[in-house]
């Protein structure tokens, strides 16, 4: 198991992260045709990747069933991911958990399409705890209580949820950014896929739409070894202890957080999110 994070500019990262994030930020050229999935970890990133990949193939599942998800939409912040992105033809598809101030600055003058997925941070904590305790590429929490404290202090991979979401939300209103929530996907997956495909400029016919919907259910992704993380190399994850497609529900935090933790979380949440307008999040 790894013993500590890789710290860059005061933010903890997995040790698979590119050491020189500043060169990535200043040197990587985002193209207008790029489709980028952005998120804070455990927010439904892989769900969005599956949806955008299936929209790209107009519902044909052969790509998502034959290529692992991290090669279909690689992580820009890992050396292996970056290498794959640089070999992709247009339109490129990639993913990132980077906070806004570390993302390649060329994005902000490009027309690249960005989908930022958000999730109730209480559920992000629970999902993150179960995932991060199995990761060999980061510091592992010894208990939920410990992970909860780390999360509130931003001492988890990719830093503070509050800074990440607050930072990227500054881009709201830009026509090449779509902000969507895990809860919205749950509430109405058909309307969500329609919204995403419209945003990407791909009109799907009813059969294509039905096929996308069929392959992005929790069960379909859980059964797809290209999407369920079972093929992540053993050096990254303790597979004996890991279920990436764990529960896939909204509101699991109610089964895990104590009353005291809920109150402590709410105090920090109110303080950190005070500057944002009401009504932005479905969980409020």
The residues assigned a catalytic role are: 97
157 binds, among ligand A3P, ligand LN4DG7MM, none (CB under 5 to 8 A by kind): ligand LN4DG7MM
Q: Which of residues 201-240 bind ligand LN4DG7MM (CB under 6 A)?
A: 232, 236
Q: How many CB atoms lie within 10 A of CB 156?
A: 26
Burial class (CB in 10 A: 0-12, 13-18, 19+), 239: middle
Please work out the total of residues on this chain that contact ligand A3P, with binding judged by CB under 6 A. 20
Q: Does 24 bind ligand A3P (CB under 6 A)?
A: no
Residue 280 contacts ligand LN4DG7MM per CB under 6 A: no
Given the rule CB under 6 A, which of 44-52, 101-109, 152-160, 233-241 is the region that contacts ligand A3P? 44-52
Residue nearer to ligand LN4DG7MM on the CB measure, 58 or 236: 236
* Residue 46, both tokens: 């892989």
Least CB distance to ligand A3P at residue 216 (A): 5
Is 246 near ligand A3P (CB under 6 A)? yes
Least gap, CB of 282 to ligand LN4DG7MM (angstroms): 22
Burial call 52-88: b when 16+ CB within 10 Å, e when fewer: bbbbbebbebeebeeebbbebbbbbbbeebbebbeeb
100 contacts 116 by C-beta, under 8 angstroms: no
Q: Which entry of ligand A3P, ligand LN4DG7MM, none binds 232, CB below 5 to 8 A by partner kind?
A: ligand LN4DG7MM
Compute the distance between CA of residue 203 and CA of residue 170 in angstroms, rounded to an integer. Answer: 29
Query: Residue 163, class by beta-carbon neighbours within 10 Å (0-12 exposed, 13-18 middle, 19+ buried)?
Result: middle
Q: Is 154 in the site for ligand LN4DG7MM (CB under 6 A)?
A: no
> Around Cβ 148, how many Cβ atoms within 10 Å?
22
Pattern 106-145, binding to ligand LN4DG7MM, x per CB under 6 A? -----------------------------x----------
Q: Running DSSP on this structure, what letter comes out for residue 135?
A: B
What is the Cα–Cα distance from 83 to 76, expressed in whole angstroms? 9
Sites of contact with ligand LN4DG7MM (CB under 6 A): 41, 70, 97, 135, 157, 232, 236
Sites of contact with ligand A3P (CB under 6 A): 39, 41-47, 123, 127, 130, 216-218, 221, 245-248, 252
């Amino acid at each position: 198991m790894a013993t500590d994070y890789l710290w860059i500019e005061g933010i903890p990262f997995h040790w698979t992260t590119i050491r020189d994030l500043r060169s990535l930020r200043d040197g990587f050229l985002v193209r207008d045709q790029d489709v980028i999935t952005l998120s804070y970890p455990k927010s439904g990133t892989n769900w969005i990747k599956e949806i955008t990949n299936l929209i790209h193939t107009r519902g044909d599942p052969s790509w998502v069933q034959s290529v692992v998800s991290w090669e279909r939409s690689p992580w820009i912040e890992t050396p292996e991911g970056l290498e794959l992105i640089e070999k992709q033809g247009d339109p490129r598809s990639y993913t990132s958990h980077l906070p806004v101030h570390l993302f390649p600055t060329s994005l902000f003058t490009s027309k690249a399409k960005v989908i930022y997925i958000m999730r109730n941070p209480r559920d992000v904590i629970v999902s993150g705890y179960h995932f991060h305790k199995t990761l060999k590429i980061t510091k592992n929490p010894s208990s939920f209580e410990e992970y909860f404290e780390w999360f509130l202090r931003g001492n988890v991979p990719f830093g503070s949820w509050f800074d990440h979401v607050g930072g990227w939300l500054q881009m709201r209103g830009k026509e090449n950014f779509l902000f969507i929530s895990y809860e919205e996907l749950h509430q109405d997956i058909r309307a969500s896929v329609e919204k995403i495909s419209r945003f990407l400029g791909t009109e799907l016919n009813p059969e294509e739409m039905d096929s996308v919907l069929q392959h992005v259910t929790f069960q379909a992704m859980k059964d797809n070894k290209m999407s369920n993380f079972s093929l992540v190399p053993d050096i990254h994850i303790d597979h004996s202890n890991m279920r990436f497609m764990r529960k896939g529900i909204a509101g699991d935090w109610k089964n895990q957080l104590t009353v005291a933790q809920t109150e402590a979380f709410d105090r920090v949440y109110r303080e950190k999110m005070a500057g944002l307008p009401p009504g932005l999040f479905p969980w409020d």
